[in-house]
Amino acid sequence: MYNLSLSVSDECKKRVEKLLIVILESKICCYDRCKLRICKFIVNKLLSSDENGNINIEVQSKCCDIILQDDAYVENILKSKLLEDLMKKNELVALELIFWKIKKDVENFTPENGTSACVVDNISATWKELSLMVTKRIQQLNCTNNCVLDSMLVLVDKIMDKIVKFKMKMSQKLFIGRSFDMEFFPEPEFIVSLLLFINAHLGNCKTRLPHTVFVKILSKTPLSSNTSNIEIIFHLIAYPFLTLFYKTNNELPLNLLGKCDKKEARVCLKEIYKHLALFQENKSSALRNVCEFMLVLESKLGNSINDINRHNLELNFLRIFTDVYTKGSGQLQVILVKYLSIIISYLKNLDFVPKLLLHTCDNQSIVENVIEALPNAVCVLCSNYVRITTWSSIDNKLNINYNCVKCNFMKASDDNLVKKDISNFHIDQNPFVTSEVIENRANNIDLKEILKSVWKFSTSINVSILKTFVKVLPSLSNHINTFHTIENTRVWIRYAGHEDQSVRKGFVQVFCSVLTSCQENEVIPRSTKEEILELCLNQLFKFAKNSLQHSNFELQDTLLETVDAITELKVKPIPLECIKIFLYFIMIPTSNYPAIAENYLLELAKKHNTKPLLLYGRYRREICQYLVDLCAINQALVSYTMKKSLEHISIVLGYLNAKDFVCKENSYLVPYLVSLIVLMPDVLDLIKETADLSEIEQGELLASNYGGIFLYLFLNKSEKEFKDCMKYIEAKTLMTASVLRKRNFKVILNELLLNFHEKRERVLVALRLLASEDTDGEVMNIKRIPDYLQPRFLGVLQYFDTKLFAKKQVLLSLAEIFKFMGPKRIVPFRFKIIAMLRTALNLNYSNFPELNCNVWDAFVRNCDIESLGGQLAMIFVSLLPLVEIYPFKINNIFSYLILQNENHLKDYIADLFFLLDYKVAPEIHNMVRKYMQKFEQLNFQQKMQYLMKYLSHETNEVKIHALKYVKEIIKENRSELDTMILGYNGMDITVVNLLEILTVGCREKDRSLKLACGECIGELGGIEPSHLPRKYAETQSFTFFITEDVFVVNSLQELIRALQAEKNTTIMDRFALAIQETLKIYGIGPETSSPKHSIWKQFPQAHKELMVPFLSSRYTIGQTPEPMQASPIFGSTVGNTFQTWSQNWTCLLISAIKTDKKKLLEVCLPSMKQCHRTLMHFLPHIVLHSLLEGSPNDFKKCYDEFAAVINSFEHPNDFLDDQFEVVAPSTSTNRFNQTSQAATSKGLKKSHCMKVIFILLDFLERWIREWQWQRGANGRDDDNYKKIYLFLTRFCKLQLAKCSFRYGEYSRALMYLEDYITNNQQELDKNLHFLAKIYAQLDEPDAVSGVSALRNREPTIEQRILELEVSGKLSDAVACYEQIPHPLKLKHLQVILILSNVNVSGHYFKSVCSLGAYTLLLRFG
C-alpha cells in the first residue's frame, strides 16, 4: 500500500491506482479480508485528511461499496463523527455512509394501513440531520468574499443524484407491489429556501446563475419532494417557451401550495422569472431540459402526480412540441425526434403522433435522425413494451430504454416471462435499474397515416437514408398490418439487389425477421401471405440470375447470405426455392462462391432436421427439372457435359458421383431433357450421354420412361413441340406412340388424373386418346369417359393414396373427379374414398383444412345419398374436428345430409347422437333430437341395449362417444344397474354382453378407446365373477384345411373386419389385396355361374357391397419376402421382438407349404403383419399345413421353434428380469429405469410368444381329437394324423406344465401335469409339491391338503410354508421362515416383505443383500 501523503509522480500514481482497482474488483474469496482492510485504510485517510484530491474518484467509490458490507464499521464512523465534519472532509464518502444509514432506517419502516406516502424526516434521524444541515447552509450563505452559489448547487445536485439512486435500489427490494411516495425535502419550504438563496445571490454577487445545475435540481425535485407544485417547476424549466402560453409575465403562476409564507413566495417567484428572462437561454437547451424533465416523470420514480396537474402538464408539453415540429428549426426538431419514444410513452393523447411524423419527415435535413428514432417509436406506439430505467454513472443522469415485447421478446409467451427476463437483466447487469411492462395504447391511432409518412423514405436515392430505413422494416412489419401488401413488398424486396453493398448487408440482417412477421401474422389472409412469399422468392431468384449473368461477385455474396437467412423458416415453398437458387450458384460457371452455396445447401437440410438426400426426395421432380435446365445452359455456354455439370451437386445431394445420380434418377431427368430438344437441339447429346451413363441403349431409355415423357410434353408443351418430340421418340425406339402408351398405361392414367384440377381440358383430351386406343380406335365421347374409368378407378384411388402426404394437388383433383364421375360410379368405391379422406384429414389437417372441407363436400354431393346411410356416423365423426375452424362449410355438409335428405337417411339420423355434444347449427341439433326422442323414452335396460350396437361400430370414434353415453347412463341409473347385476334370475344378459365388449375394447390399439372402456368398467364397479352366468362355447364346425368353405368364409369375415377397423389407407390396401385374391382364387362372386356362388350368398348385404369393388380391382403384391434361414428364429437377431419373430416365422412356415395353398397365404401375409388378430386366424392352419406338406427338415425347424420358446423359461437370469417386471414398480434412477425398460420388453416378448405357442398346441390337439371323432379308429392310420400326433408327442408334458406355471397359465399347467402323471405313475411322488403349488395358485386349499395327504414322507419347510399360507395361517408361516437356512431364495422375498411384522422383514435384510437384491427389497417395501 502506498502513503497518500507521499509525493509521487503522476505516472506512478496512475499505475498504483490501476493495480488497486484490479484488487478491489477481484472476485477471489481469499482476497476479501485484504480488500476490506485496504478500503478501511483509504476511507480513514479520506475522512481524516484534507488532501482528498490525491485519490482517484473511482477508487473512492469502490472503497465505499466494499466498506458498506461491514455494518459495524460504518455505524462506528457515523457515531464517532458529526455529519457536517464528514461532509467537509469528503462529500462522496460521507454521502455513501449517510444513505447507507437511511436505507437501513427505511427498510425497518412499517407503514400504517392506508398510508401512501412516507416522510423520510420522520423515519431517519440521519437524513433529518443532513436535511437541516443543507437548509441551514443555504440560508446562511452569502457572497461577500467568494461566490459559493455554484458549489452549493453542486452539493444539492449530488444529494439529488443519491436520492435517485437510492429510490431505484429501494424500488427493487422494498414496497414490492405497493405504491409509496418518499418525501425527502419538505415542499414548498425547500423550493422557497432555494429560490431565496438564488435571488439573494443574484442581487449581491456578480457571478451569473449556473443555469444548468439549477435546472437539473428542479428536474429532480419530483423525485425528492411531493408534487403539488409541479406546474411551477415546469414553468421554471420551460421559461423560454412560456410565450406560447402567456402574453405577459403577469399571467405567470405565482401561487405555491403548501406551508410557506405566500407573500414571500410570490415575490421570490417574480424575481426568479425576471432573472430567467435576463438569462436568455437558447431554445435548444430549453427544449432538451423540457424533454429531460419529461424523462424524469416518465421514469415513474417520482412521487405521484394528481390527475389535474398531469393533465395540465400534458397540455403544456403538447403546446411546446407542436410549436417545435410545425415552426421550429431543424436543430429543435432533431432534439424532439431524439426524445420521440419518451414523448409517445408519457403522453396519453397520441393523436399528434401522425402529424409530428408527417412534418418531421418533410424536413430533409433531419431525415436520418427521424428514421433512426422510428423503430423504437413504432414499438412504443403500437405494441406492449417494457420500460427500462437506468442510471448512467458516466453522465450522472437517468436513461430510459424501451424493449418491445414483440420485437425483443418474441419467444416469450406471456408478460410473466417478459418480466422474468427483465428482472434477470437488471439484477445481473446493473443495480440501478427499474422496469415495468406497459400495455399497448394505440388502438385508435391511424397507423396507415404513419406508414404513409414513413414510406416516402423507401424510395430515396440517398444510400445513407436507405441504410437507416432498412433497420425500420422489422418494427413496421411487426406492428403495422398494412405494411404487408404486394405493393410495399415490391419496394422493400428490391433492397436485396440494391447496387450498394452496405444496403444489401443491412437488408440481410432484417429480411428473415420481416418475412417471419408476415407469415406468423394471424390477421393477414393466407392468400396474401403466399403472394408476398412468392414475390420475395421470385425476386431473389431474379437477382441471382442477374448476378451470375453479369459476374457481379459482391451481389452474389450478399444474395447467398440473404437466401440462407430465410432457410430456417419452415414454410412450404421456401426450401425448394432456396435449393433452386443454391443450385444456380453451385452449377453455373460464373458463380464465384460454389463451395459456399454447397455448404448453405447442407445447412438447409440440417435446419429442417433431415439429410440432403431425403430433402432431395421431397422435391425430386422439381429439382431434376432445375438440374436439366442448368445442364442445358452449361452445355450451350461452355460445352459442359452432363457429367461435368453434375459433378459436385450429385455428391452434395448424397450420391457417389454423377454417374450414380443419373443411373438412379434418369426416369425424372429424361422427360425434361426430351422437352428441350426442339428449342435446343444440342440437348440430344445430353440424352445420349444419359443413356451411356445409365449403361442402356438410347431407345430403351426413352421407351422405359415414355410415361413421364408423354405426360410432361402433353400437359405442358404446345402441340407442335409435342409432335416433334414424339417423332424423335418413335424414331429412336422403333415403336409407335400407341404401343408405347399401352406399355406405360398405368403411369399415364394415374398422373393424368392427378392433374385433373389444374389442366382439366388437356387431361380429357388425353383420356379420349387413351380410351380410343384401348377400344381399337373407337371414337370416345367425353360423356363415356367416366364409364371407361370406372373399372380402373380403384387403382387410381390407390395411386392417389400414395401421394396424399405430400401433394395438395391430390385433394384438388379428387374433388373435380368426384363431380366428373357422377354418383352411380362413385358408390362402389365409397368405403375406399371415405377411408382415404379420413387419412387425408390426419395428414393434411393443419395445412389444408379448407381444402379437406371442399373434398368432403364434393364427395357427399356426388355420391348416391342412400348408399351413405351405413357410413353416416363415420362421415360426421370424421368432420367434427373441422367444425370449430370452418363452421359454415361443415354445417353446410351436415345440413345437406340430414336436413335436405332427411327422407333418404331418416333411419340413420339417430346414429348421430354424439352431435348433441358439439357446437353445430341449431337446426341440426333439433333434427338429431327429433330422432333421439324414442331413445329418451326407453328405460335403462332398453337404452343399454340400444347403445350396444354402437359399442361394436367399425369406427373407433363412434365407439368412444357411445362409451361416454353408457358411462353417463350408468351414473344416472345406479339402482337399476344393481338390480340387473343382482337380479333373482342372475345377471342380466345386457350387462354380460357389455362386460364382454369392454374387455375386448381394452385390448384394442387405440389408446383413447382403451381409456374409455376402462372408465366404463370403473363406473360399473367390481363384479363378483360368481355372478356371471356360465358361458358355453358355441357349437361350430371344425375346419381341418384352409381349402374348406367354412375357413374361406371365416377368413373373408376377418379380413373385412380388419379393413373396416383400419384408419390408414396404405394398410387398408393390404387387407384389400387379401380379399381380392381370396375371391379370385376360390372363384367367389355374385354371378350364379361363379364356382363358389354359395359362399357369396352367406355374407350380409353390407359385406357384399364392400367386396364388389375387389372383384375387378387390380391390387398386386410388390415383393414376396424371402424366408429367414435362421432356425430357430426366436432369440436370433431376426426374432428379437414379438412382431419380428411372429412375422419372420410365419414367412418361414409358408415357404414350407408346397401346394397351391401357398399362393393364398403369401398374398395374405402383408395383412397378417398389420393385425395380430388376423395373424392368429391364419397361423394355426399355416403351422398345420407346414407340418403336413413340409419336408422332414421343415418338420424339424417347426419343432425347434416351439422348443426354443418353451425352453426359454428355464434361464434363471431372464427369470429374475421378469420378476422385476411382474412385481416391482419403476424407480426414479435413470440407470435402473433403463434396465427396467429392457426387462419389460424381454418379459413381454416371452409371454406373448408363449401364448402363441399354447394356442397352436391347443389347435393341433383339437385337430387330433376332431380327426379321430369324425373318422373313428381308421383315422389313426392316416398319414396326416400320424404327422401331427408324432409332432405333439415330442413335447414333454411336465416341461409344458412348468412353462405354463411360469407364465401364469395355472389351469393349463394342471392339465399338462395331470396328463404327465397319468402316463408316468411312478413320477407322482416327485411332483406332488409342484401339484400343490398349482392348486395354491388356483386358490384351492382343499386340493393342497389332499396333495399333502398323499405324501409318504415328512414335508419339507417349503412345503409346510405353502400349506400354511394357503390356509391363511401367516403367523405360523413366519415361524417356518425363521428355520429356512441362509441365503433365502428370491421366490420367498415377496411373501416375507408383505407381512405386517416389520421386525421379521428386517431379520432377513442380510439375506436379501446377499442375493444382490437390495433394490428389489426397496421396491417391494
Identify whether the C-beta of residue 1372 lies closer than 8 Å to the C-beta of residue 1395. Answer: no
User: Could you give the dihedral angle defined by the CA atoms of residues 749, 754, 757 and 758, in that order, rounded to the nearest 10 degrees?
Assistant: -100
d(CA 1071, CA 835): 13
> Do the beta carbons of residue 217 and residue 194 sit within 8 Å?
yes
Q: What pLDDT was estimated at residue 1208?
A: 77
Q: What's the pLDDT band for 588 if we cut at 50, 70, 90? A: very high
Query: Which residue carries 365407439 as its cell?
Result: 959
Q: Give every CB contact of residue 1289 below 8 A, 6+ residues apart in sequence.
A: none
The model's pLDDT over 108-126, given as tens digits with 9 standing for 90+, comes to 776 655 444 566 767 778 8
Measured over all CA atoms, what is the biggest interatomic distance in the chain, rounded to whole angstroms? 146
Highest mean pLDDT among 708-712, 951-955, 971-975, 988-992: 708-712
Answer whether 1070's CB lies under 8 Å from 1055's CB. no
Q: For the range 620-623, what are the long-range contacts, defined as Cβ-Cβ under 8 Å and sequence gap of 24 or more?
A: 620/665, 620/668, 621/668, 622/576, 622/580, 623/576, 623/579, 623/580, 623/583
Residues 611, 655 contacting (CB under 8 angstroms):
no
The span from the first CA to the last CA of the chain, in angstroms, equals 67
How crowded is the C-beta side of 446, counted as CA atoms within 13 Å? 10
Q: What is the mean pLDDT of residues 1415-1421?
A: 35
For the ranges 802-811, 1071-1080, 1338-1347, the one whose mean pLDDT is highest: 1071-1080
716, pLDDT greater than 50: yes
| 390 closest CA partner among 419, 425, 351 | 425
Distant-in-sequence, close-in-space partners of 423: CB < 8 Å, separation ≥ 6: 435
**Closest listed residue to residue 703, CA positions, set 675, 673, 751, 670:** 670
Q: What percent of the chain has pLDDT over 70?
A: 81
Output the CA torsion sign for 1292, 1295, 1300, 1303.
Answer: negative
What is the pTM (predicted TM-score) of this model?
0.70
Answer with the residue of higher pLDDT: 1115 or 564.
564
Mean pLDDT of 942-968: 86
pLDDT band at 1211 (very low <50, low <70, confident <90, very high): low
Which of 1150, 1148, 1066 is closest to 1115 using CA atoms? 1066
pLDDT tens by residue, 1074-1088: 888 888 888 888 887
Comparing 1195 with 489, which gets the higher pLDDT?
489
**Measured distance CA(352)–CA(979) in Å, rounded:** 79
Q: Which residues contact 895 (CB under 8 A, 6 or more apart)?
A: 921, 923, 924
Check whether 350 has a pLDDT greater than 50: yes
Question: Do 705 and 740 form a contact (C-beta atoms < 8 A)?
Answer: no
Contact between 771 and 780 (Cβ < 8 Å): yes
Contact status, residue 153 vs residue 210, Cβ threshold 8 Å: yes
666 SS3 class: helix
**CA gap 223, 639 in Å, rounded:** 80
N residues, the chain: 1421
Higher pLDDT, 242 or 861: 861
Q: Tell me the three cell numbers of residue 943.
A: 337404452
Segment among 9-23, 538-552, 647-661 with least mean pLDDT: 9-23
Q: Which residues contact 679 (CB under 8 A, 6 or more apart)?
A: none
Q: For residue 1202, is pLDDT > 80?
A: yes
- The average pLDDT across 259-268 equals 78
Q: How far apart are CA 347 and CA 1278, in angstroms?
A: 105
Q: Are 1297 and 1330 in contact (CB under 8 A)?
A: yes
446 vs 84, higher pLDDT: 84
Judged on CB neighbours under 10 Å (0-12, 13-18, 19+), 967 is: middle
Alpha helix ranges (H) inside 1025-1090: 1045-1061, 1065-1082
Least confident of 173-182, 446-455, 581-590: 173-182
Mean pLDDT for the stretch of residues 728-740 = 91
Contacts (Cβ under 8 Å, ≥6 apart) of 82: none
Burial class (CB in 10 A: 0-12, 13-18, 19+), 1318: exposed
d(CA 359, CA 370): 11
Residues contacting 1105, CB < 8 A, separation 6+: 828, 867
Q: pLDDT tens digit string along 1351-1377?
A: 666 666 566 666 666 655 555 565 566
Whole-angstrom distance, CA of residue 70 vs CA of residue 1193 = 93
For residue 773, the model assigns a pLDDT of 84
DSSP string, 564-633: HHTTT---THHHHHHHHHHHHHHHSTT-S-HHHHHHHHHHHHHHTTS-HHHHHHHTHHHHHHHHHHHHHH
The confidence score (pLDDT) of residue 1104 equals 79
Backbone φ/ψ region at 392: left (φ over 0), alpha (ψ -120 to 50), beta: beta
Rounded Cα distance between 1214 and 15, Å, is: 75
Could you tell me which residue, 914 or 392, shows the higher pLDDT?
Answer: 914
Judged by DSSP in three states, 430 sits in coil
Rounded to 10 degrees, the C-alpha dihedral 1006/1012/1015/1016 comes to -120
- Extract the C-alpha cell encoding 328: 421550429
| 504, 547 Cβ separation under 8 angstroms | no
pLDDT band at 433 (very low <50, low <70, confident <90, very high): low
In this predicted model, what pLDDT tens digit does every residue of 911-930 receive, in sequence order? Answer: 888 888 888 888 998 998 88
Q: In angstroms, what is the C-alpha Rg of the chain?
A: 46
Q: Is the predicted pLDDT of residue 559 greater than 90, yes or no?
A: yes
Mean predicted confidence (pLDDT) in 703-725 = 91
Q: What percent of the chain has pLDDT over 90?
A: 15
Looking at residue 142, what is its pLDDT? 65
When pLDDT is averaged across residues 281-286 and rounded to a whole number, the result is 84
User: What's the mean per-residue pLDDT of the chain?
Assistant: 78
Does pLDDT of 380 surpass 50? Answer: yes
**Residue 310 carries which side chain, given as an amino acid letter?**
R
